Amino acid sequence: MIHSNKPYLKRCFLYHKGLMPYLEAHTWQRSLLHERINNPNLDDVLILLEHPPVYTLGQGSSPDFLKFDPNHSQFEVHRTERGGEVTYHCPGQLVGYPILNLQRHQQDLHWYLRQLEEVLIRVLAVYGLEGSRIPSFTGVWLEGRKVAAIGIKVSRWITMHGFALNVCPDMTGFERIVPCGIIDKPVGSLAQWIPGITCDEVRIQISQSFAEVFGVELVESVGG
């Protein structure tokens, strides 16, 4: 269990998973979301994991941002219901899926997106790195490189999907897309600033930052 000096009024179950196929995680998210739509009293959830190599496109994203034929791809390609354009997931990238009831927090999607950014900006600050926002874009940048992508879906104020922070991934997969549909801004990973950094250590920092920003008590859980 993760504690701080701040009193918490809300509980959030934390699931630390290793490498999980994208569709398996997606099915799990949808199950958690529908359970909470049917019973809004259920506690919030935060899932932290990594995915095998996979490309995902947001609900309205353009296939023009793919530099390959999705029907003949080396890796899986999935269109999903989140917002945002195409992105790439792979080992070394830490993905967070918060399943939150925003009626307990704030019923404002812009607020929620800014809070997710704040979680990651605080994580970077732990390592002496100054993460930043760029107006009109969603995500977190570090010295002009996008190190974290965010895409969400909200149904009846219950959230799914979330954020992806490049910790130490093989970046070559990003070369086959226009990440997030942003042509003139490169992507980066924390390993470019902190050689040897691992997802395991960053998981701890994300958990603590998430608890602080959203004012929750994280309860580590198993199963799922």
Q: Give catalytic residues, as residue numbers.
A: 180
The separation between the first and the last C-alpha atoms of the chain, rounded to the nearest angstrom, is 17
> Could you tell me how many helices (H) and strands (E) the chain has, helices first?
3, 10
Please give the Cα distance from 53 to 77 (Å, whole number).
9
Specify whether the CB–CB gap between 105 and 158 falls below 8 A. Answer: no
Q: Give me the phi and psi of 33, to 5 degrees please.
A: -65, -50
Cα dihedral: 186, 167, 70, 75 (round 10)? 150
Specify whether the CB–CB gap between 6 and 211 falls below 8 A. Answer: no
Please give the Cα distance from 121 to 220 (Å, whole number).
23
Residues ≥6 apart with Cβ < 8 Å to 217: 1, 2, 3, 8, 10, 11, 12, 211
Is 128 in a helix, a strand, or coil? coil
- Other Cβ atoms less than 10 A from the Cβ of 194: the count is 17
